[in-house]
Amino acid sequence: MTQTSQEKPLRLEATVIKRDDHHMRLSDLSPNTQRVLKTLVAHNYQAYAVGGCVRDRLLGLSPKDFDVVTNATPEQIKACFRNCRLIGRRFRLAHITFGREIIEVATFRGHHVEDAKDTHAKQNRDGQLIRDNIFGTIEEDAARRDFSFNAMYFDATNENILDFANGMHAIKHQQIEMIGDIATRIKEDPVRMLRAARFSIKLNMRIDDEMKGIIAAHAHLLANIPPARLFEEVSKLLLSGRGFKTLLSLQELGLFKVLFPILDGMLNDPKGKEQLLIQKMLKNTDERIANDMRITPAFLYATILWYPMEERAQQLIFDTQLNPHDAMNIASAEIIQRQVQRIMVPKRFTIVVREIWSLQRRLQKRFGKRVFQLLSHPRFRAAYDFLLLRAEVEGGQTLELAQWWTDFQEAKDDKRANMLKALNPKSGKRPRGGKKRTKPKTETGQPSNDV
C-alpha cells in the first residue's frame, strides 16, 4: 500500500464518565436502539450507541438518528436479528429495520495504515482513504472518528460513557476538535472540512484559527471527492435549516468556491447581487424548513447558478448573435454540465432547474392564453418564487414583473382581463413584430429544451 505523510496511528484510551457524572440516560435512546443494544449484549457482544446521538443528547438536542457499534461482525449481527440486512461495499454495515426506523449497526473499524500487510485500506497520493474495510477494537474505532465529540460511546448496560478523545471537554467549551493531526485527517477524508463547518453551525461551536487556516489550505482537496457524495453533503449543509449561517461559514473557510467553482470571483462583492440572491434564498429556505414547508434542491441550484448562467447567455448572444431563447438554452446546459462535474446533482433536479430558468423568460411574455398556461404550469410556483427573489435583489423591471404576477394571481377574472388589456391594447393578440413560436412543445406545454 502507499505510505503517505501519515503519522503513527493514534492510540486512544477511554476515560470512563460514570452515569452520575453526566445526564444521558438509556431512555434518551429510541426504544428500538435500546432493543438492538440489549439483543447484542444478550448474545455476549459489546455494543454501544455512538456518535451524533450521544453528542446531541449531551448538548440537549434531539438526535437525528442513532448509530450503534459492536465487536460482532456483520454476519454475527445478522444472526442476532430477523429484521437485518447487510449493506455497503466500502464498509459493510447492518441495517436493522423496525417499521420506518432503521438502526445502523457497524462493526468496530480498525486502523488503516498501521499494518503493512493490510490490503484492505488504501490511500491515494493526496493521503485520501479510498478503500477501507477492516475491523478493529473499540480504541481503533474511536481513533478513526473525526471530531472528539463524535468519539463518545454510551454503554447501555450501566449508562456510563466511554470518552476516547476528551469529547466532553469539546462539548463544555463548545469547540470543534479534530482527533489527531488536523491536516492528516483532512487529507484522509476532505469531507471532514465540510463536516467541521456543518457541526460548527448546528452545534454552535467554534473552529479555532489553527483549524481554519488548515482548512483554507486544504480546501482544494474537495475536488477529489466523488461528486455524488458531495451532493449528499451539500444537501446536509444547505438544506437542513441553517443554510444561511452555513453559507457564511463555508465562505469564511474557503470551501464554497471549491463546491461552486463557476461562481469563483462573482462573490467577492459582499453587496453584489450574486451574493445577495444566494443569501436571500438560503434565508427563505431556512424559514420554509422551520415552518415545515416543502423544499427542493432544484431551487437551491437554480439560485446559485442563475447569474453565471445569465452571464454565459449574454456572452453567447454577444459572440454568436444567437437569439436570447437559444442562448439561454445553451448556457443552461453548459453551466449545469460544468457544475455536475463537481456536485452530482441528480437529473430529476437539473431538469427542474432548467424549467425554473426558462420560465423566467416566459413570465415576461404576458399575453392571451399564455398567461393562463403559465399559471397552471407545474413549475409556476417555483418559477414565481424565484422571480420574487430576483425582484428583491434586482429591483427595476424585475420588481415590476414580479408585482404584476402577484397582482394577477390575486385578481378576479374581470381585473385580470383589464391587466392583460393594459399590457396589450389589441387584446389577445401578440404585440406587433412578436415572433410566432416554432419550437416543439413538451406535454407540459413547455418548449423543449434540447440544445
CB of residue 287 to ligand ATP, shortest distance in Å: 21
Stretch near ligand ATP under the rule CB under 6 A, chosen from 64-72, 161-169, 296-304, 325-333: 64-72
Q: Which residue has the cell 413538451?
A: 442
Give how many residues touch ligand ATP by CB under 6 A: 11
**Cα–Cα distance for residue pair 408/415, rounded to 1 Å:** 8
When CB distances are held under 5 to 8 angstroms depending on the partner's kind, the choice from ligand ATP, Mg ion, none that residue 347 binds is none
**Binding to ligand ATP by residue 126, rule CB under 6 A?**
no
Q: DSSP secondary-structure letter at 145? A: S
Stretch near Mg ion under the rule CB under 5 A, chosen from 17-25, 51-59, 238-246, 322-330: 51-59
CB of residue 362 to ligand ATP, shortest distance in Å: 39
For ligand ATP, the binding residue among 187, 192, 242, 342 (CB under 6 A) is 192
Stretch near Mg ion under the rule CB under 5 A, chosen from 7-15, 61-69, 362-370, 434-442: 61-69
**Angle formed by the axes of helices 306-320 and 324-340, nearest 10°:** 130
Residue with the shortest CB distance to Mg ion: 52
For Mg ion, the binding residue among 10, 17, 48, 52 (CB under 5 A) is 52
Do 427 and 420 contact (CB within 8 A), yes or no? yes
**Cα–Cα distance for residue pair 195/112, rounded to 1 Å:** 21
**Cα–Cα distance for residue pair 32/335, rounded to 1 Å:** 45
Strands 67-70 and 101-107: what pairing? parallel
Give how many residues touch Mg ion by CB under 5 A: 2
Question: Helices marked H in 127-208 — which ranges?
Answer: 138-144, 167-173, 182-188, 191-202
Q: How far apart are the first and last CA of the chain?
A: 46
For ligand ATP, the binding residue among 189, 286, 310, 355 (CB under 6 A) is 189
CB of residue 69 to ligand ATP, shortest distance in Å: 9
**Angle formed by the axes of helices 273-290 and 297-304, nearest 10°:** 170
For ligand ATP, the binding residue among 146, 155, 163, 286 (CB under 6 A) is 146
Catalytic residue positions? 65, 67, 146
**Binding to Mg ion by residue 65, rule CB under 5 A?**
yes
Give 157's strand partners. Answer: none
For ligand ATP, the binding residue among 67, 274, 286, 310 (CB under 6 A) is 67
Do 16 and 160 contact (CB within 8 A), yes or no? yes
* 393 sits in which H/E element: helix 380-394
CB of residue 171 to ligand ATP, shortest distance in Å: 13
**Binding to ligand ATP by residue 150, rule CB under 6 A?**
yes
CB of residue 151 to ligand ATP, shortest distance in Å: 6
Q: Name the residue nearer to ligand ATP (CB basis): 191 or 401.
A: 191
CA angle 332, 336, 341 (to 5 degrees): 160
Q: Name the residue nearer to ligand ATP (CB basis): 110 or 308.
A: 110
Give 109's strand partners. Answer: 135
Chain positions 182 to 241 lying near Mg ion, rule: CB under 5 A, are none
CB of residue 246 to Mg ion, shortest distance in Å: 17
* 50 sits in which H/E element: strand 47-50
**Cα–Cα distance for residue pair 126/112, rounded to 1 Å:** 15
For ligand ATP, the binding residue among 12, 51, 71, 242 (CB under 6 A) is 51
**Binding to ligand ATP by residue 390, rule CB under 6 A?**
no
CB of residue 67 to ligand ATP, shortest distance in Å: 5
Q: Name the residue nearer to ligand ATP (CB basis): 137 or 373.
A: 137
When CB distances are held under 5 to 8 angstroms depending on the partner's kind, the choice from ligand ATP, Mg ion, none that residue 139 binds is none
What length is written for the chain? Answer: 451
For ligand ATP, the binding residue among 64, 421, 426, 429 (CB under 6 A) is 64
**Cα–Cα distance for residue pair 148/245, rounded to 1 Å:** 23
Do 237 and 250 contact (CB within 8 A), yes or no? yes
CB of residue 98 to Mg ion, shortest distance in Å: 17
State the cell numbers at 20.
452520575
Q: Name the residue nearer to Mg ion (CB basis): 65 or 159.
A: 65
**Binding to ligand ATP by residue 167, rule CB under 6 A?**
no
When CB distances are held under 5 to 8 angstroms depending on the partner's kind, the choice from ligand ATP, Mg ion, none that residue 150 binds is ligand ATP
For ligand ATP, the binding residue among 22, 57, 111, 145 (CB under 6 A) is 145
Q: DSSP secondary-structure letter at 116? A: T
**Cα–Cα distance for residue pair 304/269, rounded to 1 Å:** 15
Residues 6+ away with beta carbon under 8 Å from 2: 122, 123, 124, 125
Which residues are near ligand ATP by CB under 6 A? 51-52, 64-65, 67, 145-146, 150, 189, 191-192
> Which residue ranges make up the site for Mg ion (CB under 5 A)?
52, 65
